[in-house]
Every structure is written in structure tokens, then in C-alpha cells.
């Protein structure tokens, strides 16, 4: 039923919905594409279905980092370490086509508190298999010559790497087609039929009904809660919005993925307000990706000028040369987020024949291949490579029964979700753990062991500017790429703002060159 090997999947005409299939994968993002490809390669008859098409959801909004650095010790880190291994394996085959770069990641600390927390985290990560080197403030420039001087130190994560997410989805979907899989675009899952034992037997879509022989895999990303509901069950997956800024191509001056130490805590925080810290990386095409923010505002696609300005300011504070860069565009995406920030991978606890592979928050690109490996091991009854209990859908069964699952959000922006206004400081620090002090750090051949007292005073704080209320004004300024920064942040407008926050150092306010990314113009 799957079609012959080598069949073209992208660029071919619309595929009809099959009458029946062994495995139906819902959602052709990076997770669905990886799962479908792996299962088809294992010889199963698989249909990959999407209401739009490949990479139509969050997978076209991610930055493409495959990270160990932001994972907390435990199941989170175990998953990431295996994920990185699998990306390296795939890169042997797909390398250039997915723009794979084993570039390494550098996490930097602005102050002693951040540094302590970073070293504590790095210590515990390294004990579980992460390759981390502590970097003295004075040695940061060996790794990143263009970094600001105003940093206390950092940690270098050799295993962090990068791919181009859309190219990766494309590669996996083509691989899926080559294994005989069938891709159906434009079919939205709307309901399901179950047998007397509650086992899922067929799925209703806007293109018709498909009978399911073995199982359905729900890989519908931030919509997975709603898709689960349509399939007769519940899982708590909510969209967590993130902004990303893209500069015009620049001569390369950022070598690694560089982020603030506060970024790690924003990934794992309780999500009660806006979290924002800088992640900076160059891409193969020369553009720079600047991220990112996290907030629960439903599926609102409205760009927020204040967030854009904050991201720009924080990025410029790390790399003063960015003040010369022009912003090409900005966009938002929706991370599929669970209450405990761990993905949901495994058999549904209420509906037989249904598996979930979702809830990867800001790590779905990095975790796609390991997720596919886990799903395959579950379907074939093989011993998994790690403890899967932390990812089991059953851990949320009580919440699902009491109706605290995702609201109905498909097709329309979820305006019912109230925008949260409480905004904690843009960069929180990692939670303090009782852990070894930095002098206890094992040497492990680390050539850049941290030395105290080699840094400059903390970055200055400036009062936040108030932002323009009009998003369209801001957008047209970016698109023409010649706007002075005051068009990004109008000091006279009465929109958001007023809170003090970290702003660019001198480099960020360089005059004369119409800097788009500066944060301190008037
Ligand atoms: C700003 C930002 C930056 C990020 N950066 C990174 C990063 O650097 N590294 C990283 O690893 N991750 C990153 N992520 C997270 C990553 O992008 C996601 O975890 C990942 O893309 C989720 O993939 P997915 O396949 O689960 O979901 P999606 O890509 O959203 O795919 C779900 C698919 O399901 C389809 N669908 C929905 N409902 C239905 C239905 N009823 N019927 C049929 N189809 C349906 C949708 O059309 C969509 O194509 C980032 C995310 C954001 C927002």
C-alpha cells in the first residue's frame, strides 16, 4: 500500500488518501517526518498526513540548534545526548543537504551569580556524558573574537550542532518517500472511530476516512492537544510563542551558537510571563539568527515590537558588531510545550492504537531522530535505549481526565487565551543547586579552566524605551532595511515598556551608520 521505493514525494502532485494503512502519522513537521521515515525504513506501510504540508508548522520556525547545553540532567539530557549521536549519523548521509554543522555552543555569563549557576549545571551535565569545558572570561575571545568584553566567563559545549530545519524536514520526507511511504497533504484530522474495546480503528479527515491497521502516531506539534481530543483522548500540549530575528547576510563573525546563561532557565521556567534571552548564531547563507522569547499567548501571530527590541538589544550586548547589522525580517513560531517541559512519547493511556510523539518545546529539531527511534522500539516491542517513563503520556492522565488539556485551537488564532502581562526580568539565572564549587571542577584536559577576577564591570543598565504601537510601521521599516533604530523603538509612543532592562554597551549605540539592531538610540 505504501508505493514503490524511490517515489517522489515533494514536487509531485497531490496524493490521494489511502483507504487503509498500517500506520498513520499525523503531522509532517520534523517529528512526524522523522517518525514516518524511520517506520517506513523498518518495513511498515506508513502514511504521513498533514492538514497543510511538510514543515507547515513550527518546524519552519525553529533555529535548528541541536543542543546539549540547554538540557538539564536527567531524562532531558539523556534524550538530547542520544539525539546528537543520531544527527551525526544522519549527517554522514545528509550533511550538506541539511546544512549540518558541528559548530559547538558557547554559553556565557554576565555576572558571578549566572556563572556559578552555569558551572553548577555544567558540572552535573558533564557527569552524565556532556562534553563541557569551562571558559575563563579572558579566554572567551579565543572562541569568539567578536564577543563583548563585559562577560564573566562561559562554558563551551562541543556536542552542540546545527541543522537547517526545513531542509531537514525535506530530507526526511524524501527519505520516507524512498522507503515507499505515502505523503498526503491538505488532509486535516477531524475525528476517529474506535471499536468496542476503545481501540482506534479509523481516522476521519477532511479528505475522507482512512482505516488504520496498527496505530496512529500523533505528531502534530503545538496542535497535538487538539488532535488528541479529536482522536478521543487528551494530552496537555500548549503553544509557547517565540520570536526570532533574521539579519541580512553578514561577513561571518560569530563562529558558534552563543547564548546567555539565562537562556537555560527560560527553557525550563514555569512560564508565568515573558522570558527572553539572547541566542545568536550564523547560518550557512550568512544571515544571523537572533532569538528568542518564550510566552504563552495562544496562537497569536502578532509580532511584538518590544520583544523584538529586547532580543536585538540583548544580542547587541553580546556582539557589539551586530549594531551595524540590518534586520531582514522577524517571525514567530509556537513551541509545543508540556507542563513539565518534557516531550510526550509513547502509547496513549486511554485509546488503544494511538501513540503520541510531541511536546518537544524548543528542542524538537534536536530530538526528532531520537523520538523516531523510541517510537520504532515501542512499536516493535524492543528494549528502549533509556527509561521512557518520564515521557509516558500516562503521567498526564489525571490532568486529561479533569479537562485541563489544550483548548480547541485549530485553524483560528487562539484569541481566547488571555495574554499574560506579568513580565519577569528578561534574563533570570539558573536555579541555585547545592553542588560542587567551581574549584572542584574536574580538569579533564580542560585548557580554559576558569580563573576568577579577570572581567570588566557589569554592563550598564539603561531605562527601557517605549515602543511604537504600530507593528506595520515597524515591519515596513525592517523590510526596507534602512530604518534608524528609533523606528523600532519610539520613545514618545505610549505602548509597552518603561521597565528598566539591560541594554547595549557602547558598541550597541554606535552612531552614524543607521544601526537597526542598536538598543540605545534616542
Ligand atoms: C522561535 C523558535 C525557535 C526554535 N528553535 C529550535 C532550535 O534551535 N532547536 C530545536 O531543536 N528546536 C527549536 N524549536 C522547537 C522546534 O521547532 C519544535 O519543537 C519542532 O519544530 C516541533 O516539531 P513538530 O513536528 O512536533 O511540530 P510542527 O512542526 O508544528 O508540525 C506539526 C504539523 O501538524 C500539522 N497538523 C496540525 N493539526 C493537524 C490536523 N488536525 N490534521 C493534520 N495535520 C495537522 C501541522 O500542519 C504541522 O505541519 C524552536 C521553536 C521556536 C518557536
> Which residues make Cβ contacts (< 8 Å) with residue 397, sequence separation at least 6?
349, 350
> Which residues make Cβ contacts (< 8 Å) with residue 402, sequence separation at least 6?
none
Atom of ligand 1 nearest to the CA of 357: 26
**What is the whole-number distance in angstroms between the Cα of residue 375 and the centre of ligand 1?**
17
Q: How far is CA 327 from CA 175, 228, 247, 474, in A?
A: 35, 39, 4, 11
Q: Pairing relation of β-strands 20-26 and 46-50?
A: parallel
**What is the whole-number distance in angstroms between the Cα of residue 79 and the centre of ligand 1?**
18
Q: Grid coordinates representing 158?
A: 562541543
**What is the whole-number distance in angstroms between the Cα of residue 169 and the centre of ligand 1?**
11
Atom of ligand 1 nearest to the CA of 367: 11
Q: What is the dihedral of CA 510, 511, 515, 518, to 10 degrees?
A: 50
CB 354 within 8 A of CB 231: yes
Per-residue pLDDT of the chain (522 residues; tens, 9 = 90+): 333 333 444 445 568 999 999 999 999 999 999 999 999 999 999 999 999 999 999 999 989 999 999 999 999 999 999 999 999 999 998 878 999 999 999 999 999 999 999 999 999 999 999 999 999 999 999 999 999 999 999 999 999 999 999 999 999 999 999 999 999 999 999 999 999 999 999 999 999 999 999 999 999 999 999 999 999 999 999 999 999 999 999 898 999 999 999 877 777 666 667 888 899 999 999 999 999 999 999 999 999 999 999 999 999 999 999 999 999 999 999 999 999 999 999 999 999 999 999 999 999 999 999 999 999 999 999 998 899 999 999 998 755 554 433 333 333 332 332 233 223 223 322 222 223 333 333 333 333 322 211 222 221 211 122 222 222 223 322 322 222 232 332 222 222 222 222 222 222 222 222 223 432 222
Instruction: Say how far apart CA 323 and CA 305 lie, in whole Å.
Output: 17
- Tell me which residue has cell 504540508: 53
CA-proximal residue: ligand 1, atom 10 (nearest): 363
CB 314 within 8 A of CB 504: no
- Check the CA dihedral 146-80-424-325 and report its sign: positive
Q: How far is CA 64 from CA 99, 104, 192, 362, in A?
A: 10, 13, 34, 10
Instruction: Say how far apart CA 176 and CA 7 lie, in whole Å.
Output: 9
Instruction: Say how far apart CA 268 and CA 280 lie, in whole Å.
Output: 19
Helix (H, G, I), strand (E, B) or coil at 313: helix
pLDDT given at position 273: 76
CA-proximal residue: ligand 1, atom 37 (nearest): 220
**What is the whole-number distance in angstroms between the Cα of residue 127 and the centre of ligand 1?**
31
CB 365 within 8 A of CB 168: yes
Q: Grid coordinates representing 58?
A: 513550527
The preferred substitution site among 190, 241, 364 for testing ligand 1, maximizing ligand atoms within 8 Å of CB, is 364
- Check the CA dihedral 203-209-214-216 and report its sign: negative
pLDDT given at position 95: 74
pLDDT given at position 503: 25
C-alpha closest to that of 310 among 116, 489, 135: 489
Q: How far is CA 490 from CA 306, 393, 423, in A?
A: 10, 47, 20
- Tell me which residue has cell 572567551: 140
Atom of ligand 1 nearest to the CA of 333: 53
**What is the whole-number distance in angstroms between the Cα of residue 409 and the centre of ligand 1?**
15
Helix (H, G, I), strand (E, B) or coil at 473: helix
**What is the whole-number distance in angstroms between the Cα of residue 29 and the centre of ligand 1?**
6
pLDDT given at position 264: 73
Helix (H, G, I), strand (E, B) or coil at 119: helix
CA-proximal residue: ligand 1, atom 5 (nearest): 62
pLDDT given at position 221: 98
CA-proximal residue: ligand 1, atom 20 (nearest): 364
**What is the whole-number distance in angstroms between the Cα of residue 158 and the centre of ligand 1?**
26
CB 494 within 8 A of CB 466: yes
Atom of ligand 1 nearest to the CA of 243: 1
CA-proximal residue: ligand 1, atom 22 (nearest): 364
pLDDT given at position 14: 62
Atom of ligand 1 nearest to the CA of 242: 1
CA-proximal residue: ligand 1, atom 31 (nearest): 29
What element of type H or E holds 194?
strand 189-194
Instruction: Say how far apart CA 148 and CA 146 lie, in whole Å.
Output: 7
Instruction: Say how far apart CA 109 and CA 8 lie, in whole Å.
Output: 48
Domain 1-101+162-237+338-419 -> CATH class: alpha beta
CB 221 within 8 A of CB 371: no
The preferred substitution site among 173, 243, 362, 371 for testing ligand 1, maximizing ligand atoms within 8 Å of CB, is 362
**What is the whole-number distance in angstroms between the Cα of residue 348 and the centre of ligand 1?**
20
pLDDT given at position 277: 86
**What is the whole-number distance in angstroms between the Cα of residue 129 and the centre of ligand 1?**
27
Atom of ligand 1 nearest to the CA of 33: 25
Enumerate the domain spans of the chain. Answer: 1-101+162-237+338-419
**What is the whole-number distance in angstroms between the Cα of residue 130 and the centre of ligand 1?**
26
**What is the whole-number distance in angstroms between the Cα of residue 59 and the centre of ligand 1?**
4
Q: What are phi and psi of 243, to 5 degrees?
A: -95, 145
- For ligand 1, residues with CB inside 6 Å are 26-32, 49-52, 56-59, 61-65, 188-189, 219-223, 227, 242, 244, 291-292, 333-336, 358, 360, 362-366, 410
Amino acid at each position: 500500500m505504501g508505493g514503490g521505493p524511490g517515489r517522489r514525494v515533494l514536487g509531485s502532485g497531490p496524493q490521494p488518501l489511502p483507504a487503509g494503512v498500517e500506520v498513520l502519522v499525523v503531522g509532517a513537521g520534523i517529528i512526524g517526518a522523522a517518525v514516518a521515515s524511520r517506520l517506513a525504513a523498518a518495513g511498515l506501510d506508513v502514511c504521513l498526513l498533514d492538514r497543510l504540508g511538510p514543515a507547515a508548522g513550527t518546524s519552519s520556525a525553529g533555529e535548528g540548534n541541536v543542543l546539549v547545553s540547554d538540557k538539564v540532567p536527567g531524562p532531558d539530557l539523556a534524550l538530547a545526548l542520544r539525539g546528537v549521536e543520531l544527527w551525526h549519523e544522519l549527517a554522514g548521509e545528509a550533511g550538506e543537504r541539511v546544512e549540518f554543522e558541528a559548530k559547538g555552543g558557547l554559553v556565557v555569563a554576565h555576572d558571578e551569580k549566572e556563572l556559578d549557576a552555569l558551572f553548577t549545571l555544567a558540572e552535573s551535565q558533564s557527569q552524565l556524558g556532556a562534553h563541557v569545558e569551562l571558559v575563563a572570561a579572558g579566554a572567551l575571545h579565543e572562541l569568539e573574537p567578536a564577543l563583548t568584553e563585559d562577560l564573566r566567563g562561559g562554558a563551551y559545549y562541543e556536542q552542540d550542532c546545527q541543522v537547517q530545519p526545513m531542509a531537514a524536514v525535506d530530507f526526511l520526507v524524501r527519505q520516507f518517500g524512498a522507503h515507499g511511504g505515502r505523503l498526503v497533504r491538505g488532509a486535516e484530522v477531524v475525528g476517529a472511530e474506535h471499536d468496542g474495546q476503545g481501540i482506534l480503528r479509523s481516522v476521519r479527515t477532511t479528505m475522507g476516512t482512512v482505516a488504520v491497521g496498527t496505530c496512529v502516531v500523533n505528531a502534530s506539534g503545538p496542535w497535538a492537544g487538539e488532535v488528541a481530543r479529536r482522536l478521543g483522548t487528551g494530552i496537555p500540549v500548549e503553544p509557547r510563542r517565540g520570536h526570532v530575528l533574521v539579519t541580512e547576510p553578514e561577513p561571518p563573525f560569530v563562529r558558534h551558537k552563543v547564548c546567555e546563561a539565562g537562556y537555560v532557565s527560560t527553557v525550563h521556567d514555569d512560564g508565568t510571563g515573558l522570558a527572553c534571552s539572547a541566542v545568536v548564531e550564523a547560518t550557512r547563507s550568512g544571515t544571523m539568527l537572533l532569538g528568542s522569547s518564550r510566552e504563552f499567548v495562544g496562537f497569536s501571530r502578532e509580532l511584538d515590537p518590544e520583544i523584538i527590541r529586547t532580543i536585538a538589544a540583548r544580542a547587541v550586548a553580546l556582539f557589539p558588531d551586530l549594531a551595524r547589522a540590518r534586520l531582514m525580517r522577524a517571525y514567530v513560531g509556537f513551541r509545543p510545550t508540556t507542563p513539565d517541559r518534557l516531550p510526550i512519547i509513547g502509547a496513549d493511556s486511554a485509546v488503544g492504537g494511538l501513540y503520541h510523539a510531541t511536546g518537544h518545546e524548543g528542542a524538537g529539531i534536536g530530538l526528532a531522530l531520537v523520538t523516531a527511534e523510541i517510537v520504532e522500539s515501542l512499536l516493535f516491542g524492543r528494549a528502549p535505549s533509556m527509561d521512557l517513563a518520564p515521557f509516558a503520556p500516562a503521567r498526564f492522565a489525571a490532568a486529561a481526565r479533569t479537562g485541563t488539556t489544550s483548548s480547541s485551537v485549530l485553524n483560528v488564532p487562539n484569541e481566547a487565551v488571555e495574554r499574560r502581562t506579568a513580565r519577569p526580568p528578561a534574563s533570570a539565572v539558573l536555579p541555585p543547586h547545592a553542588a560542587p564549587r567551581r574549584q572542584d571542577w574536574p580538569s579533564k584536559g580542560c585548557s580554559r579552566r576558569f580563573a576568577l577576577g579577570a572581567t570588566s564591570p557589569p554592563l550598564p543598565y539603561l531605562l527601557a524605551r517605549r515602543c511604537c504601537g504600530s507593528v506595520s510601521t515597524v515591519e515596513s521599516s525592517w523590510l526596507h532595511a534602512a530604518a534608524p533604530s528609533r523606528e523600532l523603538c519610539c520613545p514618545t509612543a505610549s505602548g509597552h515598556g518603561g521597565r528598566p532592562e539591560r541594554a547595549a554597551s557602547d558598541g550597541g549605540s554606535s552612531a552614524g551608520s543607521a544601526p537597526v539592531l542598536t538598543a540605545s538610540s534616542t
